[in-house]
Structure 1
Amino acid sequence: MPGGPLSSRFGIGVFSTAASAMMAATPGISSLELSLFRLVNQLPGSFRIALASVMQLGSLSAVPASAGVALLKRCPALAADLALAGGLSWGAAKAMKVMVARARPALLLTEVLIHGREQGGNGFPSGHAAVAAALATVAGDHLPAPARCPTVALIAAVALARVYIGAHMPVDVVGGGALGFTIGTAVMARHSPRD
């Protein structure tokens, strides 16, 4: 990857992913993370339907769905990039969950509100946040600058939803978002000119 904006983005992504993994691997929960979790997790139940819907933008099924939309729009290169970035992000998140082994909020804290069904497995990083960030990073590189703002808002909404339903702590979704951003940037770097 040559120097320039993509290599800077990649470096920021790697640093953010590593820093959040170190925070997640550290025993205990910081007071800031606990406060943020409680603030989001205790939002009224009326948020559940809207957040559960937007959360699906980070599910594994969003990968073939977004690639399919790109194919329908006659953008096969974009479809391939979406499939690659989304699939790699999902797989990388699964691998990191084993390496970091941070529990879900219900096992870390008392009085966690579970909005929906309780999630199993480890919490860090959020696979939903990773997939959403990877797809948004790839799609964003194909959009004019003003149209990128909604993609960032969707990543934030998916992350918020995962904390709200009680599936993740804030560091989990930050780490997932950073992981997806890193992988999406690496996929897009394949198209940048080589020195």
Structure 2
Amino acid sequence: MLDRPPRTDDQHGARAWQAVTGACQAARGRARRLDRRALEWVVTHPDPVLDRWMPRLSRATDHLVAWWAVAAVMAAAGGRRNREAARWGLAAMLLTSPVCNAAAKNLIGRSRPPERIRRRRPGRVPESGSFPSGHTAAATAFVTAATLVTPQVGPPLGVLAAGVAYARVYTAAHYPSDVAAGALLGITVALALHLQRRSDR
């Protein structure tokens, strides 16, 4: 009886899996290097005006303080649409914060930018995980939800949210990818809340 030829399916599968995982690891390594280089470029290109205002803007949004103030101004400005926009903005923000800070950060556990970079910029750097950016997630959640209710508030609030996102990179509290992920998370939560709001009507 002739011996059966050795099966190569498993070997081919293992090699293919190794090739895929190797490519994924290489891509992740390149992405991390680009992320770090982008942060270092921002840190090594200071501006006197940004040096003064970016840390202040970053601190103003600690504990969501600035967004509560924005909601109060919107409500005081009068009009049912403004009050509704402020209410849904706060709802999206308050829903996003625990998802980001209590779940995503703990699950991913990414370290903050290294101390040698952080010392080059003033500003508070929390001890929590870096990915995703909680400040950016809250900002984009508030702005997206409020804009979906009252589009007129979108431009000024969008400028403020963009400033917060850039401030987190400028003060070296986050990598650019942390900010991008935070923005995506905030937008996603706000859109989901908006769809739920429309379905309840």
Is the 2:85–2:150 Cα contact (8 Å) retained in structure 1? Answer: no
Superposed, 1:14-163 pairs within 5 Å as: 30-44=32-46, 46=48, 47-55=50-58, 56-57=60-61, 59-74=63-78, 75=80, 76-94=83-101, 95-106=103-114, 110-112=116-118, 113-144=120-151, 148-163=154-169
Q: Percent identity?
A: 28
| CA shift for structure 1 position 167 | 0.5
Divergent runs of 4+, >6 A: none
| CA shift for structure 1 position 123 | 0.5
2: distance between equivalents of 1:81 and 1:111? 37
2: distance between equivalents of 1:152 and 1:79? 14
| CA shift for structure 1 position 50 | 1.6
Letter aligned with residue 135 of structure 1: F
Secondary structure of 2:122's counterpart equals coil
| CA shift for structure 1 position 40 | 1.5
2: distance between equivalents of 1:52 and 1:122? 19
2: distance between equivalents of 1:65 and 1:155? 14
2: distance between equivalents of 1:141 and 1:53? 28
| CA shift for structure 1 position 44 | 1.7
| CA shift for structure 1 position 189 | 1.8
2: distance between equivalents of 1:161 and 1:79? 23
| CA shift for structure 1 position 183 | 1.2
Is the 1:129–1:159 Cα contact (8 Å) retained in structure 2? Answer: yes
Residues 159 and 80 of structure 1: CA distance in aligned 2, closer, same or farther (over 3 Å):
same
Question: Normalising by structure 2, what TM-score?
Answer: 0.71
Is the 2:144–2:191 Cα contact (8 Å) retained in structure 1? Answer: yes
Instruction: Provide, for residues 95-148 of structure 1, a one-character-per-residue CA deviation record: whole Å limited to 9, x for no partner.
Output: 2110110000026xx544232344312111111101110111022223447x63
TM-align CA RMSD: 2.9
Residues 134 and 128 of structure 1: CA distance in aligned 2, closer, same or farther (over 3 Å):
same
1: distance between equivalents of 2:89 and 2:133? 18
2: distance between equivalents of 1:148 and 1:77? 14
Question: Normalising by structure 1, what TM-score?
Answer: 0.73
Residues 63 and 156 of structure 1: CA distance in aligned 2, closer, same or farther (over 3 Å):
closer
Structure showing the higher helix proportion among its residues: 2
From the CA coordinates, give the structure whose radius of gyration is larger: 2
Secondary structure of 1:166's counterpart equals coil
Letter aligned with residue 55 of structure 2: A
Paired residue total? 169
2: distance between equivalents of 1:129 and 1:92? 13
